[in-house]
């Protein structure tokens, strides 16, 4: 048998239910892995070993009594440090919240606690989820377990790196413009951005409230379906939460793709793709055809404007959301100012990093008098056109398919001084957030020893179709490559 830390959650659950292994043994395997590789990978901002051990002991005690343990019991998890955790500091990767300890749990964390959450720690991230490489963390960059000289993606890079490196079995991330799917792609994992409103945002520290969604990062599609089932469903504490309970996504996995209509947006298959990404995606499309799907070209004509619209709308919302971090109520306060205005300025100058300041300034400018309609108003109109493009495409197709990212993981430091180049790494994922639809990334090949991700997009609330499609492709591809962060290269 493989090391316990390397197994998928569903396999561990089977072993735990048969009591062939204990939750404590699973956890100690993962913590042992953390001890060996965390110094190189740097997935976590805060480790919660004692809390995890307590949860593992409780899971074993419940099973020993013949009681039913929750679906998350005994499965070590990383939680992105943008989600509030009662009694455990939540930094958002920022000096502004370096010492902030919430008094409540985010709804998704609370739901997982009811299912036996075994939280190994809070995962590193780009500051306030603003970035595509986890280099914008105020504390340290996270490294890609496939190649320690590469980034793991962002902003959920710590979550993805932890799962890929064996420092967690599955993880929670958040996705505002690709921050679950792009790290999953870079780290050879499955990552799903749910329909806007399917998963509660209560307790998620907001970046852009009309775009943010919490979702799973896992080692395979079955685990993704299981974790999504635990997260989804109406939450009265979130005014944007959709009504109704979540379906059992696990039961909808099988069935294949015969007769499925697959569209390939030409706008996402143009210049900018590396040869290996193009080859892996085209190979996956041929495989879908062999499995019985009908594959043909689609068009989303307004996608050329998506990136520009996103980088007006998201910073505008960030400008509003981050105004609360002023040194008055909580978080960092720089002392020694002569008056309140000086205190505001010095606190925000010291507490926020360069990328966060850049986006606050962009957003504040876009919302300012005289420019609101020219920038923010126009961007909202573009967003409406993009929603209409997707609706028209989904009248012909059941799913749309594209690369998750135009390239595999890039080098640490390679794009830090070139923000536009960094922003372009999310060109395939951003339209999904603007439209509020679900999308999943699954590994579909390698380029230069680094994983390539395939993005599958679906209609609103049709996560079950995405998961079924991803499952069929996953089984056919049989992607088994894995990283070795000790050596710093995939094997």
Q: Which of 64, 57, 62 is nearest to 23 (CA)?
A: 57
The answer to whether residues 23 and 61 touch, using CB atoms and an 8 Å cutoff, is: no
Tell me the Cα Rg of the chain. Answer: 21
pLDDT of 33 reads 98
Residues whose CB falls within 8 Å of the CB of residue 472, separated by 6 or more in sequence, listed in order: 256, 257, 288, 291
**Maximum distance among all Cα pairs of the chain, rounded to whole angstroms:** 71
How is residue 430 written in tokens? 């951003």
Question: Which residue ranges of the chain lie beneath pLDDT 70?
Answer: 1, 486-491
Helix (H) or strand (E) holding 71: none
| Cα–Cα distance, 367 to 363 (Å, whole number) | 6
Please report how many Cα atoms fall inside a 13 Å half-sphere around the Cα of residue 258, on the Cβ side.
3
DSSP 272-303: T--HHHHHHHHHHHHHHHHTT-EEEEE--GGG
Residue among 8, 11, 29, 80 flagged as catalytic: 80
Q: What is the pLDDT of residue 7?
A: 97
User: In 3-state terms, what secondary structure has residue 143?
Assistant: coil
Superfamily of domain 4-263+401-490: Amidase signature (AS) domain (3.90.1300.10)
Distances (CA, A) of 440 to 123, 216, 298, 393, 470: 21, 10, 18, 18, 8
Q: What percent of the chain has pLDDT over 70?
A: 98
- What's the pLDDT score for residue 482? 86
Contacts of 290 (CB under 8 A, 6+ apart): 476
Torsion of CA 312, 316, 317, 318, to 10 degrees: 100
CA distance 305 to 362: 17
Cβ partners under 8 Å of residue 356, min gap 6: 94, 127, 128, 130, 136, 318, 322
Active site residue 80: yes
Q: What is the dihedral sign for C-alpha 224, 145, 278, 130? A: positive
CB neighbours of 116 closer than 8 A, spacing ≥ 6? 55, 58, 59, 62, 69, 70, 71, 72, 73, 74
Model pLDDT, residue 241: 98
Q: Is 133 annotated as catalytic? A: no
Neighbouring residues of 120: CB distance < 8 A, sequence distance ≥ 6: 27, 30, 31, 34, 44, 47, 48, 49, 52, 76, 77, 78, 162, 167, 168
Per-residue pLDDT at 292: 98
| Residues in a beta bridge with 204 | 83
**Catalytic: which of 29, 155, 159, 185?**
155
The 8-class DSSP code of residue 125 comes to -
Q: Which residue has the tokens 């991330």?
A: 173
Could you state, in order of their start, the residue ranges of all structural domains in the chain? 4-263+401-490, 307-382
Region class of 81: left (phi > 0), else alpha (psi between -120 and 50), else beta:
alpha
- The number of residues making up the chain comes to 491
Catalytic-residue membership of 209: no
How far apart are the C-alpha atoms of 345 and 159, rounded to whole Å?
32
Question: How far apart are the C-alpha atoms of 235 and 232, rounded to whole Å?
Answer: 9
d(CA 165, CA 186): 13
Cis peptide preceding 155, ω within 30 of 0 = yes
Residue 380: what pLDDT?
Answer: 98
* CB of 402 closer than 8 Å to CB of 265: yes
Tell me which of 179, 200, 241, 284 is the catalytic residue.
179
Judge whether 276 and 445 are in contact, CB under 8 Å.
yes
For residue range 275-320, list pLDDT tens digits in order.
999 999 999 999 999 999 999 999 999 999 999 999 999 999 999 9
User: What's the CA angle centered on 461, arms 232 and 114, to 5 degrees?
Assistant: 5
Q: What is the separation, in whole angstroms, between the first and last Cα of the chain?
A: 18
């Amino acid at each position: 048998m493989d090391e316990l830390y390397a197994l998928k959650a569903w396999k561990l659950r089977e072993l735990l239910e048969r009591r062939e292994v204990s939750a404590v043994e699973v956890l100690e395997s993962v913590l042992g892995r953390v001890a060996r590789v965390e110094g190189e990978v740097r997935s976590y901002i805060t480790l919660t070993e004692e809390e995890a051990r307590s949860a593992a002991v409780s899971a074993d005690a419940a099973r020993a009594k013949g009681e039913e343990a929750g679906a998350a019991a005994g499965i070590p998890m990383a939680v992105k440090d943008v989600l509030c955790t009662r009694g455990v500091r939540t930094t958002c990767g920022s000096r502004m919240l370096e010492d902030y300890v919430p008094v409540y749990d985010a709804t998704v964390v609370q739901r997982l606690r009811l299912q036996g959450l075994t939280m190994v720690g809070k995962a590193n991230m780009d500051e306030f989820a603003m970035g595509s490489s986890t280099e914008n963390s105020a504390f340290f960059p996270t490294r890609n377990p496939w190649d320690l000289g590469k980034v793991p993606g962002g902003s959920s890079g710590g979550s993805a790196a932890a799962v890929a490196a064996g420092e967690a079995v599955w993880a929670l991330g958040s996705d505002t413009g690709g921050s679950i799917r792009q790290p999953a792609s870079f780290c050879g994992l499955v990552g799903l951005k749910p329909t806007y409103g399917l998963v509660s945002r209560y307790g998620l520290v907001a970046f852009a409230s009309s775009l943010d969604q919490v979702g799973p990062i896992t080692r395979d599609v079955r685990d993704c379906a299981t974790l999504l089932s635990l997260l989804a469903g109406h939450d009265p504490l979130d005014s944007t939460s959709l009504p109704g309970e979540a379906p059992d996504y696990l039961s909808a996995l099988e069935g294949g793709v015969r007769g499925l209509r697959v569209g390939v947006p030409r706008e996402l298959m143009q210049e900018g793709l590396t040869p290996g990404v193009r080859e892996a995606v085209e190979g996956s499309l041929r495989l879908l055809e062999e499995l019985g799907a009908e594959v043909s070209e689609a068009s989303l004509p307004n996608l050329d404007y998506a990136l520009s619209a996103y980088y007006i709308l998201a910073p505008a919302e960030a400008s509003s959301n981050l105004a609360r971090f002023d040194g008055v109520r909580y978080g960092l306060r720089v002392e020694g100012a002569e008056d309140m205005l000086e205190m505001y300025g010095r606190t925000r100058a010291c507490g926020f990093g360069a990328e966060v300041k850049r986006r606050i300034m962009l957003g504040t400018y876009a919302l300012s008098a005289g420019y609101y309609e020219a920038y923010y108003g126009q961007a909202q109109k573009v967003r409406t056109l993009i929603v209409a493009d997707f609706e028209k495409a989904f009248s012909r197709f059941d799913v749309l398919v594209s690369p998750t990212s135009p390239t595999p993981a890039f080098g640490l430091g390679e794009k830090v001084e070139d923000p536009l180049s960094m922003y372009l790494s999310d060109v395939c994922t951003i339209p999904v957030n603007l439209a509020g639809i679900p999308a999943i990334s699954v590994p579909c090949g390698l380029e230069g020893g680094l994983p390539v991700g395939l993005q599958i997009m679906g209609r609103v609330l049709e996560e079950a179709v995405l998961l079924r499609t991803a499952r069929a492709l996953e089984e056919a591809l049989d992607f088994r490559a894995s990283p070795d962060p000790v050596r710093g290269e995939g094997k």
